[in-house]
Amino acid sequence: MIGVDTNVLVHAHRRDAPLHGRCAAALRTLAEGTAPWALPWPCVHEFLALVTHPRIFDPPTPCPQAAEQVEAWLESPSVTTVAETADHWSHLRRLLDEGRVAGPRVHDARVAALCVAHGVRVLWTFDRDFSRWGGLLTAAPPD
């Protein structure tokens, strides 16, 4: 299963993002396909925080429009959302130890732990920090 990281969601949504066309097409392929794919909830939350932030985008995406984008992704019959389960701590703790994680990378470890726990094998991302953990491959969305 493919998971989608925040930065890919942002590029897919924002027409002014440098990789908009590539990411929008890749997400459209996932959403319209039959293969299961995943949206980690922390990535959805971070997407909303980033695209609506006036210091990051000028103009920022209005929150109702950003929420509509999330709803459009969630309407895909092949999408699943991934969140913490009862055994989340064991997955997170292992990744924290393996990656010697501190500071902002705790968020990445959380996303990676969710993906591993839910059977996500590949995370589409432009962030190299995820390469520190085994069990989760990373790749940029295809052209």
Residue 25 confidence (pLDDT):
98
Query: Can you read off the two tokens belonging to residue 92?
Result: 């997170």
Residue 135 confidence (pLDDT):
79
Report the side by side order of strands in the sheet with 122-124: 79-82, 37-40, 2-4, 122-124, 137-139
Q: Name the 3-class secondary structure at 37.
A: strand
Domain residue spans of the chain: 2-139
CA distance 100 to 109: 10
Residue 130 confidence (pLDDT):
84
Residue 115 confidence (pLDDT):
95
Residue among 11, 93, 76 nearest 47 (CA): 11
Residue 52 confidence (pLDDT):
98
Residue pLDDT tens, the chain, 143 long:
999 999 999 999 999 999 999 999 999 999 999 999 999 999 999 999 999 999 999 999 999 999 999 999 999 999 999 999 999 999 999 999 988 888 989 999 999 999 999 999 999 999 988 877 777 899 999 98
Residue 6 confidence (pLDDT):
98
CATH architecture type of domain 2-139: 3-Layer(aba) Sandwich (3.40)
